[in-house]
Amino acid sequence: MTIAIGDTLPAATFKCFGSDGLVDVGSDELFGGKKVALFAVPGAFTPTCHAKHVPGYVEHAAALKAKGIDTIVCIAVNDPFVMKAWSDHCGSETAVTMLSDGNATFTKAIGMDVDLAGPFLGTRSKRYAMVVDNGKVTALMIEENPGVVENTGAEHVLAAL
């Protein structure tokens, strides 16, 4: 079943790097009592994700926060070391929290997994964006083609707020 507007996100644990190294971030901590702009990409450092998706959220971070977003989160089915390197390379550390769903546990639980074995990427996430208010999905945008950013960019999230 694919997550839908009005659904509550399932419990999950993500990995990222904090000031003390590798840490777990639970969904309660991430979404509880907060309004979050969450977007997911098929892969860190992949052309569309790197050049077209993340930069928009970095560029529009202040505008998103001005409209009530507490946290901007990017999730990918990549390991946390890759996500940290990608965050450093993009300069997104202060704008976007990069989280690893390395085993696609969360991605599968919300029905957003996609088999990209053809181009040797394996199980990945569909490209999507959502607004989550205290754990509940209030806006959801999904790309049919993982190689484009048409309705999941920061501008579309801003319009949904």
Tell me whether residue 3 is in a domain.
no
pLDDT digits (tens, 9 = 90+) for 46-98: 766 666 778 899 999 999 999 999 999 999 999 999 999 888 888 777 899 99
Q: Tokens 């009530």 map to which residue? A: 68
pTM, full prediction: 0.92
49 annotated active-site:
yes
The verdict on residue 128 lying in a domain is: yes
Amino acid at 72: I
For residue 43, what are the domain limits?
13-160
> Among 16, 49, 74, 90, which one carries the catalytic annotation?
49
Q: What would the DSSP string read from start to end of the chain?
A: ----TTPBPPP-EEEEEETTEEEEEEHHHHHTT-EEEEEEES-TT-HHIIIIIHHHHHHTHHHHHHTT--EEEEEESS-HHHHHHHHHHHT-TTT-EEEE-TT-HHHHHTT-EEEETTTT-EEEEPPEEEEEETTEEEEEEE-SSTT--SSSSHHHHHHH-
Task: State how far the Cα of 138 lies from the Cα of 68, in Å rounded to an integer.
Answer: 13
| 1 within a domain of the structure (yes/no) | no
124 near 42, Cβ under 8 Å?
Answer: yes
CATH number at residue 104: 3.40.30.10
| Residue 116, domain member (yes or no) | yes
pLDDT for 119 equals 65
CA angle 138, 143, 148 (to 5 degrees): 135
Q: How many domains does the chain have?
A: 1
**pLDDT higher than 90, residue 45:** no
pLDDT in tens, 99-137: 999 999 999 999 999 876 666 666 889 999 999 999 999
- In-domain check, residue 2: no
Strand partners of residue 131: 37, 139
4 domain residue, yes or no:
no
Tell me, what's the pLDDT at 10?
Answer: 97
